[in-house]
Structure 1
Amino acid sequence: MSADIDVRPVAQAGPGRSQARLRVAVIDRDPGFMQVLSNRLDAQRWDHRILTSPATAEVLVAMRLNALVIDIAILGPSSWEYLERVCARLPGLAVIVCTGPSSVAQRVRGLRLGADAWMTKPCHPEELICVIEAAVRRHRRNEMPELEHAIAVGEITIRPDLYQAYRGEESLELTAREFEILHLLSQSDRVLRREEIYERVWGYAMAHGDRSVDVFVRKLRQKLRLVSERWSYIHTHFGVGYRFAPTLDGVEASEAAEGNSGRHRDDAHDLTDTSPELDSALAG
Structure 2
Amino acid sequence: MQDRILLIEDDEELRGLLARYLNGQGFVVREAATGNDGLALAQDELADLVVLDIMLPDINGLDVLRQLRYRTRLPVILLTARGEETDRIVGFEVGADDYIPKPCNPRELVARIQAALRRVAWDQETEGPRAQTIGDLRIEPDERRVYQDDQPVELTATEYEILQVLISRAGSVVRKTDLMQWALGRRLTPHDRTLDMHVSNLRRKLDKGESSRIETIRGLGYSYRRPA
- Calculate the TM-score normalised by the size of structure 1: 0.40
- Calculate the TM-score normalised by the size of structure 2: 0.49
Which structure has the bigger radius of gyration? 1
Which fold has the larger relative contact order, with Cα–Cα distance below 8 Å and residues 6 or more apart in sequence?
Answer: 2
